[in-house]
Amino acid sequence: MPQVLKQEVRERIVGAALAAFAHNGFAAATMSEIARGAGMAVANLYRYYPSKEELFAAAVPPALVARFEQLLARSVHAHARLVGVAGPSDETAAAELLQFWIEQRLAVIVLLDRAQGSAYESFAERFVERLLEVSVAELRRAHPGLVLTREARLVLRQIFENTRRMLAVLLEQCTEEAAIRRAVAAFRSYQVGGLAAFTRALEAARSAD
């Protein structure tokens, strides 16, 4: 008689997989480790998910990734704001993105920093590129005629690489909703101030030329 695959067992496996992927990264996580986390034999795990790739797809499904990208596209102006004040629509979108990060904490950690070797290994790079693209557009909107040198773009890229890594660290270290909100708010205030100072430096350099 064929084995009946139970939904509650699937959910336990997916939970253990997410924890392993978030802690070690997709490439380093093993099916044996995931089986231990799910409290089952590895042979039984393979009956539910024949490969680590299939298990990753269940733990980080395409719909979740698409939702992350949709929310990011709507709120990215609030996170890359260079003029110091975000509009109401920006704040609403940013709040929705933060709520998503809280609800999908482990999957977000994976996508931002631990997806190497998986189908979404390019997600982190796309995240940074999106922030860079918007920051450059924001600079040009707020400061017409401002020329961004290669060096300025390099600095911005590193700023947003740090954003990506910092968010992953905050979500990993802060497991409670209130703590996540406090940490993200503190980081955001630091980043907005830093970006404003960066803009002033560019303006001063242009005036000196």
CATH code where residue 112 lies: 1.10.357
Sequence-distant (6+) residues with CB within 8 A of 133 are none
The percentage of the chain sitting over the pLDDT mark of 70, rounded to a whole number, equals 89
Quick one: 74 and 161 in the same domain? yes
Quick one: 201 and 138 in the same domain? yes
Q: Which H helix or E strand runs over 185?
A: helix 177-208
User: Is residue 2 in some structural domain?
Assistant: no
User: Is residue 39 in some structural domain?
Assistant: yes
Quick one: 201 and 148 in the same domain? yes
Quick one: 119 and 145 in the same domain? yes
Q: How confident is the model at residue 192 (pLDDT cuts 50, 70, 90)?
A: confident
Sequence-distant (6+) residues with CB within 8 A of 114 are 21, 22, 24, 25, 26, 168
Contact status, residue 152 vs residue 177, Cβ threshold 8 Å? no
Q: Domains in the chain: how many in total?
A: 2
Q: List pLDDT tens digits, range 55-107.
A: 999 999 999 999 999 998 888 765 555 444 444 456 788 889 999 999 999 99
Quick one: 12 and 114 in the same domain? no
Q: What is the pLDDT of residue 29?
A: 97
